[in-house]
Amino acid sequence: MLKDNKHMDSLFAEGLKNLSVSPNPKVWEGINSQLMAAKKKRLFAIYMWTGVAASILLLLAIGNHYFSGQSNYNMQLNTLSENSTSFQNDSVRNFDQQIDSKTNSSTKKELINNANTSDELYVSENEQEEIMIADKVSHKPNLEDANSPEIFNNGNTSSLLSKFPDSNGTEIRASKLNTTFLSNEKDLAFLDSEFVNGLMNRKTEEKLSNFEYDPPSQLVPNTSQLAKQQDLVLLADEIQIQKNILAIEQLGHDKNKENRWSIIGQVSSSYSSYSGDSKGGNAGSGIWSVGGGAKVNYAMNEKLAVQTGIVYNRFGQDMSARGGSRDALMYADPIFGSDENFVNNEVVLTRTYPEHTAAGPIKLSGGSNLPMTAASGEKISSSYSPSSSEDLIQSFKSIEIPLLMRYNLIQKRVGMFVSGGLSANMIVGNGVYDQSQGNKKIGEIDGIRTTNFSSQFSFGLEYRLNSKLQIGLEPSVKYYLNSINTSNQYDYKPYSIGIFTGIRYDF
């Protein structure tokens, strides 16, 4: 029984163990198409994740830039507020002490009762950024005198209104600072930087002098108190000045925005392939190429701009990525050959250059010393040569004249925009190259349309180096709207996915 089984097993094993059968060529086509699809999918995934990562980085950068800028500004104002308030409190405390020392208790009580006449200084940047410098400088209303000198300092810098005691010192009317002292940008007076600097220096000197004065011997302060009130005014001015400095900076930015014309120089690295269904055309994989050009940008308003220019591109397909360059594969034994017959040390291939690609028929160059007879099916032998890498590459060179609309999403130091539009593409180069022969041109695609139209969409980032220069990064997708071959047998619509990097100069 056991022996019988062994005989049975050996009968089949000897025959079938090394069975070798030549598969249908369609099997390789199926394998190759699936491998190419996987490659494309992988590339798409790389682009997608790169885009996602870039978007996240961009959002982080913009968020960081925006919030840090905002917090710095808030910090400036808060610091100013704290300084002003503390300084104000100190001065008022001193002033109160003077009053206390010079007035009786009843007068003091009245002063307290009249707290509703307290002078307040509100410095408001906006609703969220309100600085209140409040002070309570009491006085006796019945002692107010029309003779009291009034200092109006509401000219261009503020609506500050002050009343100061007269020289007799019988009245105290503290400065009343309007709550709308600094309300919004429209009320701002723009001071030039020299004026601002001068004013700030002078103010500082005055502050110092105020701290050095001697308390007057009389009940009511006169000149020193006047200085106190002036100091309050100057504090307000200081805030005003800070505000104006910001306004001046803003004005500078606004001026920058007025730059309507700019030129953009760009270089691109792109992956190009095609879509379409060509009859019998050999499919290939995409190719990477570099391009570049110059564009003119005209800003119609703050957000919208139009662009045009001239851009050089290269696109095509790598024919060697599939069996297209080989019409037939020869195997050692057609069917049920023995293993000894099958195993060859050299693989013999029957190779012919394809008569056409997906883009159209190949018109071989007359001067080519390549085996022209290969086109008619001459067999040539080839063994695997790792150094010769790939074989045929079909490429087109085009000059593109785009007309694009650009919409600015963010215009800070880091800018973000989207753009899209149409382009006219002139095919200026057309060739099929054999890489195994040192990238020698073996011919060109016949029936290519000279002028073609494409659409494109891009998402861009810009970083402002200074008021004139910006550098940018612009991932872009471009798709041909028409087949570039005039024959309706070939539906070849190239597309490309690339990244433009460039520099922009604003006039």
Q: How many residues bind another protein (CB under 8 A)?
A: 55
Q: Check residue 391 for interaction with another protein (CB under 8 A).
A: yes
Write the secondary structure of 377-438 as one string of H (helix), E (strand) and C (coil): CCCCCCCCCHHHCCCEEEEEEEEEEEEEEEEEEEECCEEEEEEEEEEEEEEEEEEEEEHHHC
Q: Please pick, from the candidates 221, 281, 293, 323, the single residue that binds another protein as defined by CB under 8 A.
A: 323
Q: Check residue 331 for interaction with another protein (CB under 8 A).
A: yes
Q: Please pick, from the candidates 105, 116, 389, 466, the single residue that binds another protein as defined by CB under 8 A.
A: 389
Rounded-to-integer distance, Cα 450 and Cα 478, Å: 18
Q: Check residue 194 for interaction with another protein (CB under 8 A).
A: no
Closer of 13 and 403 to another protein (Cβ): 13
Closer of 128 and 389 to another protein (Cβ): 389
Four-residue CA torsion sign, 121, 123, 126, 127: negative
**Terminal-to-terminal C-alpha distance of the chain:** 99
CB of 343 to another protein, least distance (A): 8
Do residues 149 and 164 touch, judged by C-beta distance below 8 A?
A: yes
Nearest to 449 by CA among 410, 481, 406: 481
Q: Check residue 320 for interaction with another protein (CB under 8 A).
A: yes
DSSP-derived 3-state class of residue 302: coil
For residue 410, what are the contacts with CB-CB under 8 A and spacing of at least 6?
Answer: 62, 416, 417
Closer of 106 and 389 to another protein (Cβ): 389
Q: Check residue 39 for interaction with another protein (CB under 8 A).
A: yes
Rounded-to-integer distance, Cα 128 and Cα 430, Å: 63
CB of 1 to another protein, least distance (A): 5
Closer of 5 and 104 to another protein (Cβ): 5
DSSP-derived 3-state class of residue 346: coil
Q: Considering only 56-64, 105-113, 319-327, 466-474, which stretch makes contact with another protein by CB under 8 A?
A: 319-327
- Quick count: other Cβ atoms within 10 Å of Cβ 92? 19
Q: Please pick, from the candidates 155, 366, 367, 386, the single residue that binds another protein as defined by CB under 8 A.
A: 386
CB of 324 to another protein, least distance (A): 10
Q: Check residue 439 for interaction with another protein (CB under 8 A).
A: no
Reported residue count of the chain is 507
Q: Considering only 94-102, 118-126, 329-337, 441-449, which stretch makes contact with another protein by CB under 8 A?
A: 329-337
Tell me the DSSP string of 33-45. Answer: HHHHHHHHHHHHH
Integer-rounded Cα Rg, in Å, for the chain is 42
Task: List the interface residues with another protein, window 277-306 (CB under 8 A).
Answer: 285
CB of 350 to another protein, least distance (A): 11
Rule CB under 8 A: which residues touch another protein?
1, 3-5, 7-24, 27-28, 30-32, 34-35, 38-39, 285, 320-323, 326, 329, 331-333, 336-337, 339, 342-343, 345, 347, 349, 384, 386, 388-391
